[in-house]
Chains A and B, each alone.
Chain A
Amino acid sequence: MGKTLAEKIWADHIVHSATGEPDLVYIDLHLIHEVTSAQAFDGLRLAGRKVRRTDLTIATEDHNTPTQNIDQPIADPVSRLQVDTLRANCKEFGVRIHSLGDAEQGIVHVVGPQLGLTQPGMTIVCGDSHTSTHGAFGALAFGIGTSEVEHVLATQTLPLIRPKTMAINVDGVLPVGVTAKDVILAIIAKIGTGGGQGYVLEYRGSAIRALSMEGRMTICNMSIEAGARAGIIAPDETTFEYVKNKPHAPIGADWDAALAYWKTLRTDDDAKFDTEIFLKAEELAPFVTWGTNPAQGAPLNASVPVPSDYSDPEERGAAERALTYMGLEAGAPLKSIKVDTIFLGSCTNGRIEDLRAAASILKGKKISNSVRMLVVPGSARVRLQAETEGLDKVFLDAGAEWRNAGCSMCLGMNPDQLAVGERSASTSNRNFEGRQGKGGRTHLVSPLVAAATAIRGTLSSPADL
């Protein structure tokens, strides 16, 4: 019997395998940031250990970093300590780091691909659950805990139990205005926040093939919101084209060898997935969340659900609690919801294509007087690119704020937060209670919906303009 893509990559990375034990899996790339690495480095220090492969390790600063006044010391002492600690650890252990102010600084999942360090067929880990993003290149990539960070630093391997595989087939052509973000929100709403638990999700089908690399990253990024540690998409010409000529892409004979290998990275026709689900692209629409987990979403044209319509008491209770927290009225049209803040950014939708998409809607228009809009590029490089294309002007002319790179309001560890009761339309990935600031209310949306919402002040799609 044939193998799935994930099984092939797994098999290619087994260092040691024995019955009754987890497989010992080799890790090709380890990404590091300031929040989850400090104790791991401290553990190495206490045990007198080194970083085994500094040449497979790279660090950046993202979660805590301010997006304004980045030439000044970080004001919050706790954030500053975490960043300073990362810098000191990287220096001591010889790890490459891109600090605030560096052109390659930014969200760890934006930086890896833009440097060409994310390539097909690799195993990639990071102490961050959205590491699944890198699966868009046909890599096996997943988030790990601090103890595992230490384990990888010391040994460049991890003992792991092999996950099951699930195919998510999206066939057909996406309607105009429907983006990768809408696709993944619809998938999560379908399978639930626990639906992917224990699986690697392989996204397949003509609608997935038609997506750009950045769209694919948006999809794989949110695999974790469906409970899966990893999502993956088979590499193809789109992937090869994207990787080619990136700083760390293979060159010369290495490129040819790499390409020959990458072309074998697809699920065999006779391979069997443990589970398979199907979606029709034509049936998808701009999607938005109304609740407090990413599975609580609906098409933008729909209404806030009525909890009593749920037959499952668990879901009914969850919907009731969510509506209370979100301050929403059951049955109200989603498009009637007024927002205060628009956040365009994060590792889900903070790449250049996302900024271009939003700018195409905002060009020559003004955002509503009743909203503020933060545009936070995923990396300093994305910011520079956007400025070259004049996108910063478009945002500023429309009345939005043009910020420096980082995680920013995606999780509000830096000063970019929602106030109590404030409501956002956000291109990030988590609408948990308090995620963007204590008492803040989050609606997850695509960059197109974010831009249209900024103009109208209520949840809207470009078709409503």
Chain B
Amino acid sequence: MDKFISHTGSGLPLRRSNVDTDQIIPAVYLKRVTKSGFEDGLFAAWRNDPEFVLNKPQYKDATVLIAGVDFGTGSSREHAVWALQNYGFKVVISSRFADIFRGNSQKAGLLTVVLPQDQVEMIWDAVEVDPAVAITVDLEAKNVRVASATYAFEIDDYTRWRLMEGLDDIGLTLKKIDEVTAFEGKAPSFKPKTLPIRA
């Protein structure tokens, strides 16, 4: 997982509420055997509509998704987070996220920022006026900066530390890998091994 200290990019205003994980990535896309390549499935049901915001050329380089309330509800599929990341998003801003989606995203290193709905609306407006406006999401300072405006956000210390260190759960465990090795050193010799194969 990459370290997340601060990110600056352009925004995509998704003015819809209750976008569930079936909409983020429909079930038919789940048969894939990789964690990558889900970008084709992102918002698949809406992609046929040329008016859908993701299809508009002015937003094609967006890396910050500014979503409506209750983003990521529904099934617990981890694929929803992967699809957003595969497409290139680094941050999702919303006034409320579904718990499981938020948990999954924090595990995978996709930053989810909660701002009050009126501030989300201000960012939507700013991005629609100027799609190229730089949005800086600063995890260290715990704020979002758009043009001259600054919006502070809250995040728990443990998650913030983990994201800033770029530590996924595996990364965290790998910090204790010497303890794992020491534990393995004490394993009794009668414990079974799959290799070499015995018939």
A residues touching B (Cβ–Cβ < 8 Å)? 15-16, 24, 26, 28-29, 38-39, 42-43, 46-47, 49, 53-58, 78, 81-82, 85, 96, 116-117, 119, 122, 146-147, 150-151, 154-157, 159, 247-250, 254-255, 257-258, 261
Partner of B174, one of A38, A85, A154: A154
Interface residue? B193 (CB, 8 A): yes
- Separation of A156 and B173 alpha carbons in the complex (Å): 10
Which residues of A are found within 8 Å of B78, using beta-carbon distances?
A: 39, 146-147
User: Top 7 A-B pairs ranked by shortest CB distance?
Assistant: A38-B33, A258-B190, A254-B190, A250-B190, A55-B195, A58-B194, A85-B33
Partner of B173, one of A47, A147, A157, A258: A157
Secondary structure class of chain B's binding surface, majority of residues: loop
B183 to chain A: closest residue by CB: A15
Are A250 and B34 within 8 A (Cβ)?
no
B31 to chain A: closest residue by CB: A78
Interface residue? B36 (CB, 8 A): yes
Are B173 and A159 within 8 A (Cβ)?
yes
B residues touching A (Cβ–Cβ < 8 Å)? 1, 31, 33-36, 78, 107, 169-170, 172-174, 176-177, 179-180, 183-184, 188-195, 197-199
Interface centre among B173, B188, B192 (most CB of A within 10 A): B192
If A39-B34, A147-B78 are given as contacts, then 12 extra A-B residue pairs at C-beta distance below 8 Å, sorted by A number, are A15-B183, A24-B179, A26-B184, A28-B191, A81-B31, A154-B174, A159-B169, A159-B173, A248-B193, A250-B190, A255-B190, A258-B190
Least distance between A55 CB and chain B CB atoms (Å): 4
Are A117 and B194 within 8 A (Cβ)?
yes
B172 to chain A: closest residue by CB: A159
B104 to chain A: closest residue by CB: A147
Which residues of A are found within 8 Å of B33, using beta-carbon distances?
A: 38-39, 42, 81-82, 85
Least distance between B134 CB and chain A CB atoms (Å): 29
Which residues of B are found within 8 Å of A250, using beta-carbon distances?
A: 190, 192
Given contacts A55-B194, A155-B180, contact A254 B189 (CB under 8 A): yes
Are B35 and A39 within 8 A (Cβ)?
yes
Least distance between B37 CB and chain A CB atoms (Å): 9
Are A257 and B31 within 8 A (Cβ)?
no
Are A42 and B35 within 8 A (Cβ)?
yes
Which residues of A are found within 8 Å of B199, using beta-carbon distances?
A: 247
A148 to chain B: closest residue by CB: B169
Least distance between A59 CB and chain B CB atoms (Å): 9
Are B192 and A117 within 8 A (Cβ)?
yes
Which residues of A are found within 8 Å of B170, using beta-carbon distances?
A: 47, 49, 150-151, 154-155
Are A248 and B192 within 8 A (Cβ)?
yes
Least distance between B127 CB and chain A CB atoms (Å): 31
- Separation of A122 and B169 alpha carbons in the complex (Å): 23
Which residues of B are found within 8 Å of A42, using beta-carbon distances?
A: 33-36
- Separation of A224 and B36 alpha carbons in the complex (Å): 31
Given contacts A39-B33, A46-B36, A157-B180, contact A96 B195 (CB under 8 A): yes
Least distance between B186 CB and chain A CB atoms (Å): 10
- A–B Cβ pairs within 8 angstroms, 9 of them: A15-B183, A16-B179, A39-B33, A42-B34, A43-B35, A116-B192, A154-B174, A155-B173, A254-B189
Which residues of A are found within 8 Å of B169, using beta-carbon distances?
A: 147, 151, 159
Partner of A261, one of B31, B107, B190, B197: B190
Which residues of A are found within 8 Å of B197, using beta-carbon distances?
A: 96
- Separation of A119 and B36 alpha carbons in the complex (Å): 37
Least distance between B188 CB and chain A CB atoms (Å): 6
Least distance between A237 CB and chain B CB atoms (Å): 18
Least distance between B172 CB and chain A CB atoms (Å): 8
Which residues of B are found within 8 Å of A258, using beta-carbon distances?
A: 188, 190
B192 to chain A: closest residue by CB: A248
- Separation of A117 and B173 alpha carbons in the complex (Å): 26
